[in-house]
Amino acid sequence: MAHPYVLLSAAVSLDGFLDDTGPQRLLLSGPEDFDRVDEVRAASDAILVGAGTLRTDNPRLLVYSDERRAARVAAGLPEYPLKVTVSASGALDPDALFWHTGGEKAVYTTDSGAERLRGSLPADVEVVALGPDVDWRAVLAHLGDVKGVRRLMVEGGGRVHTQLLRQGLADELQLVVAPLFVGEPGAPRMFGPGAYPPGRMRLVETRPVGDVVLLRYVPTAPGTGALAAAADRRWLETACELAAQCPPSRTAFSVGAVVVAADGTELARGHSREGGDPVVHAEEAALAKLDPADPRLAGATVYSSLEPCARRASRPAPCARLILDAGVRRVVTAWREPDTFVRAADGNAVLTEAGADVVLLPQYEDLAKAPNAHLLSPSTRP
Ligand X SMILES: NC(=O)c1ccc[n+]([C@@H]2O[C@H](COP(=O)([O-])OP(=O)(O)OC[C@H]3O[C@@H](n4cnc5c(N)ncnc54)[C@H](OP(=O)(O)O)[C@@H]3O)[C@@H](O)[C@H]2O)c1
Residues that bind Zn ion (CB under 5 A): 281, 309, 319
Among 19, 33, 284, 307, binds ligand X (CB under 6 A): 19
DSSP of 105-141, one letter per residue?
EEEEE-HHHHHHHTTTS-TTEEEEE-SSS--HHHHHH
Query: What does DSSP say about strands 330-335 and 357-360: parallel, antiparallel, or unpaired?
Result: parallel
Give residues with Cβ within 8 angstroms of 84, minimum separation 6: 46, 47, 48, 49, 105, 106, 107, 108, 143, 152
Task: Find the binder of ligand X among 7, 28, 117, 331 (CB under 6 A).
Answer: 28
Q: How far is the CB of 359 from ligand X (least distance, A)?
A: 25
DSSP state of 38: H
CB closer to ligand X, 64 vs 353:
64
Q: Does residue 11 bind ligand X (CB under 6 A)?
A: yes
Alpha helices (runs of H) in 326-377, residue ranges in sequence order: 347-353, 365-369
How far apart are alpha carbons 328 and 322 in whole angstroms? 9
Task: Please identify which residue in 65, 101, 163, 352 interacts with ligand X, judged by CB under 6 A.
Answer: 163
101 touches, from ligand X, Zn ion, none (C-beta below 5 to 8 Å by class): none
Measure CA of the first residue to CA of the last residue in the chain; give whole Å.
17
Concatenate the DSSP letters of all residues of 48-99 into one string.
Answer: EEEHHHHHHH--------HHHHHHHHHTT--SSPEEEEEESS----TTSHHH
Residue 309 binds which of ligand X, Zn ion, none (CB < 5-8 A, kind-dependent)? Zn ion
Q: Which of 44, 87, 304, 372 binds ligand X (CB under 6 A)?
A: 87
3-state secondary structure of 317: coil
Is residue 159 a contact point for ligand X (CB under 6 A)? Answer: yes
Among ligand X, Zn ion, none, what binds residue 159 when CB lies within 5 to 8 Å by partner kind? ligand X
Residue 277 three-state SS = coil
- Rounded Cα gap, residues 187 and 193, in angstroms: 14
Name the segment binding ligand X (CB under 6 A); options: 45-53, 207-215, 248-256, 336-344: 45-53
Closest distance of CB 159 from ligand X, Å: 3
Q: How far is the CB of 298 from ligand X (least distance, A)?
A: 35
Q: For ligand X, which residue of 8, 42, 47, 51 counts as binding (CB under 6 A)?
A: 51
Of the candidates 264, 283, 263, 262, which has an alpha carbon nearest to the alpha carbon of residue 272?
283
Distance CA 53, CA 160 (A): 10
- The listed partner (ligand X, Zn ion, none) that binds 25, CB under 5 to 8 Å by sort, is ligand X
Is the Cβ–Cβ distance between 305 and 243 less than 8 Å? Answer: yes
Exactly one of 7, 42, 45, 57 binds ligand X (CB under 6 A); which one?
57
Pick what 282 binds: Zn ion, ligand X, none; C-beta below 5 to 8 Å, kind-dependent. Answer: none
Give the nearest distance from C-beta 158 to ligand X in angstroms.
Answer: 4
Stretch that binds ligand X, among 149-157, 257-265, 278-286, 287-295 (CB under 6 A): 149-157
Near ligand X by CB under 6 A: residue from 84, 107, 117, 134: 134
In the list 40, 88, 226, 349, the residue contacting ligand X (rule: CB under 6 A) is 88
Q: State how far the Cα of 71 lies from the Cα of 202, in Å rounded to an integer.
A: 32
Residues binding ligand X (CB under 6 A): 10-11, 18-19, 25, 28, 49-53, 56-57, 86-89, 91, 134, 136, 155-160, 163, 188
